[in-house]
Chains A and B, each alone.
Chain A
Amino acid sequence: VLREEQGDEIRAELKADVDQEVDRAWNAPDPEPESALLHVFADRAAAAHGAGGNADREEEQLENASSEVAPTLEDSTGDRS
């Protein structure tokens, strides 16, 4: 049976975890706007699908958009390797 003080302890731990992640999120730098184009498809070129304009320009935008790297096949759960 869970005692009241044990419950309080678990709640406090969870609150600390959540507070820590919330603080981390608030203090993180805002993402580059162009990073919104990432993660549409597995491959980067196709990630620009639907953005309009020519493919070279889109690719260049993606290259400059963010240090975030599009996932490789191996990175993605469920991908065939």
Chain B
Amino acid sequence: VTEKNVVQTIHDTLWDEMKADDRVLVLGEDVGARGGVFRVTAGFLDEFGEQRVIDTPLAESGIVGVGIGMALHGLLPVAEIQFADFIHPAFDQLVSEAARIRYRSAGDFACPLVVRAPWGGGVHGALYHSQSIEAFYGHVPGLKTIVPSTPYDVKGMLRAAILDPDPVLFLEHKKTYRLIKGDVPDEPYEVPIGVADVKREGEDLTVIAYGLMLHLCLEAAERLQQEEGMSAEVVDLRTISPLDRETILDSVRKTSKAMVVYEDNRTFGAGAEVVATIAEELMFELDGPLVRIGGPDIPAMPFSTPLEHFYMPDVDRIYAQMKELAKF
């Protein structure tokens, strides 16, 4: 076991997978000579060569489209979108092609493609380096959208994504890259896609989150315990789609109260689906209103520091809502 941060874990896991299977390769903007803007592929070009570490033009549609072609022909490509904010030109390739290949061919063809993309705010990245994109892609059957948020889960889910026979969008919250550290087993292992995880057990309410918000919720839950003697169960979604309804519902059945926290625009965000699922299945078992915390419905993350702080849910706000719901 080695303590690592998130970005080092991604580097090491990709490295190990490329060492283990020569069908695995990476492609994207600046992944080669520069080693990626976040240094995820630092040293890869020297080790694996330009046939497996491919610097591409600034053309996201082409990156994903070429990745789809590679996947269809037996390779296991891991495409990097430099920032999730830039993935939109590839929307058509992901939605119209990658996600539908198995379905349109009645199972004759598969597209084992992984697309990695750093997402999320709180890094002073403003309009084009802060976006949350999970809801766009979580809406698409045939595509798996995952959001591991701890080093342990990142390693296990990246391996699972590469091994998966279907296309996977692997979202990495960029603020967690160097902020979040944890123990990572040195040997290979998988964390299953489509399975949420109870990161903290509790009795008084359930809090569902992912990405950076998971860590803020864990901090708020600890504060609730210390200051109020009340316990929050914190569920890490880990996978946006396919959604693990059972883990969510099992937790809410236990606590009878639920809130969901996400930083994407609140309306039509992933949290809306979580809340709808709870309302459909457990309406008459709830002892309080369903609470949804999300970012405001504005077109983009502002650059100005106070405006960015206004946008991002923080521990104080999450704590206040947790406390109110726990005491309801």
Contact = CB atoms under 8 A, between A and B. Distances in A.
A29 B198 CA distance: 47
B103 A42 contact: no
A78 B74 contact: yes
Contacts, number: 72
B194 A46 contact: yes
B166 A41 contact: yes
- Interface of chain A, helix or strand or loop or mixed? loop
Nearest to B71: A78
Contacts of B294: none
Interface residues of A, number: 21
Contact of B165 (A38, A40, A42, A55): A42
A59 B314 CA distance: 40
Contact of A49 (B107, B141, B165, B280): B141
B23 A76 contact: no
Contact of A50 (B102, B105, B141, B163): B141
A49 B273 CA distance: 13
Interface residues of B, number: 32
B108 A76 contact: yes
A48 to B, nearest CB: 9
A43 B113 CA distance: 16
Nearest to B21: A80
Interface of A: 38-42, 46, 49-50, 52, 54-55, 68, 70-71, 73, 75-80
28 contacts: A39-B106, A39-B107, A41-B144, A41-B166, A42-B110, A42-B165, A49-B141, A49-B241, A49-B242, A52-B280, A54-B245, A54-B281, A55-B245, A55-B246, A68-B106, A71-B110, A75-B107, A75-B108, A76-B102, A76-B107, A76-B109, A76-B110, A76-B165, A77-B109, A77-B110, A79-B165, A80-B21, A80-B112
